[in-house]
Amino acid sequence: MSIRVLLVDDHALARTGFRMVLDTEPDIEVVGEAATGRQAIHSARRLEPDVVLMDVRMPELDGIAATRAIAGAARVLILTTFDLDEYVYDALAAGASGFLLKDVGPDQLTEAIRVVAQGEALLAPTVTRRLIDELVRGGRRRLRPPEALGELTPRELEVLELVAQGLSNAEIAELLTVEETTIKTHVSRLLAKLGLRDRVQAVVLAYESGLVPGSQRSAR
C-alpha cells in the first residue's frame, strides 16, 4: 500500500522537484499539491494524505497555522532552510512530526517520508542540535513542568534529557552502556506516561519545562 503524500510549497519549481523524486518510488504516491496554508488544509481534508510535506513561509496562511489544523489527521514533515527557520520550533510545537532541510538529497527525502509515515518522529541529530541551539539562544519561556514528569523513573528521566539534547537511541544506548532496544522501551514508556505522540514533542516539553541546563540558563 502506497504512502500518500501532499506537497505544500508556494514555489511551483520546488513542488515539481519533490514530485519528480517521489514519483520514482513505488511505495510513495503524490496525491496533491498546495501553494498556501489554506489550500493545504483544504487538500488534506479532501485527499486524506498520510504525510504532508510542509513549507513554513507561505502566503495567506503560513505553515505553522496549517500544521496546527492538519496534524491531528496527517503526519506533517516541515521543510526548512539550512540556517534553521526561526519558525520551525513553533511548527514542531504545533504538532509537526519532524523537519527536513530544503536542500535534502533524494534518498534522505524518501526515507524521511517513510519514517514519518510509520509513526516515528524525524529528528536527525545534526539538525536537532541546531534547533536546540536556537531554543537556548532564544530564551524560550519556561513552563511549569507537567505533573506527569513525577511518574517517570530516574532512568526514564535521564533518557528524556538525553533525547532533548539531540541524541539518537543508539547514542543514548552507548552512553548508558545498555542495548538499543532497552532505550527504545524507555522512550516508548516515557512518551506514554507524558501523553506525548513522539520524540519531537518530548524535545519541546523538555525545553519548555527547563529540564535541560542550557534552557534554564537562558530562561527569562
Tens-place pLDDT, residues 167-212? 878 889 999 999 999 999 999 999 999 988 777 778 778 877 777 6
Write out the chain in H/E/C secondary structure: CCEEEEEECCCHHHHHHHHHHHCCCCCEEEEEEECCHHHHHHHHHHHCCCEEEEECCCCCCCHHHHHHHHCCCCEEEEEECCCCCCCHHHHHHCCCCEEEECCCCHHHHHHHHHHHHCCCCECCHHHHHHHHHHHHHHCCCCCCCCHHHHHCCHHHHHHHHHHHCCCCHHHHHHHHCCCHHHHHHHHHHHHHHHCCCCHHHHHHHHHHCCCCHHHHHHCC
The confidence score (pLDDT) of residue 217 equals 34
Q: Lowest-pLDDT range, 45-49, 96-100, 177-181, 189-193?
A: 96-100
**CATH (residue range 3-121):** 3.40.50.2300
When the candidates are 3.30.70.980, 1.20.1440.230, 1.10.10.10, 3.20.20.70, the CATH number that belongs to 137-218 is 1.10.10.10
Q: Where are the domains of the chain?
A: 3-121, 137-218
The pTM for the full model equals 0.70
The confidence score (pLDDT) of residue 14 equals 92
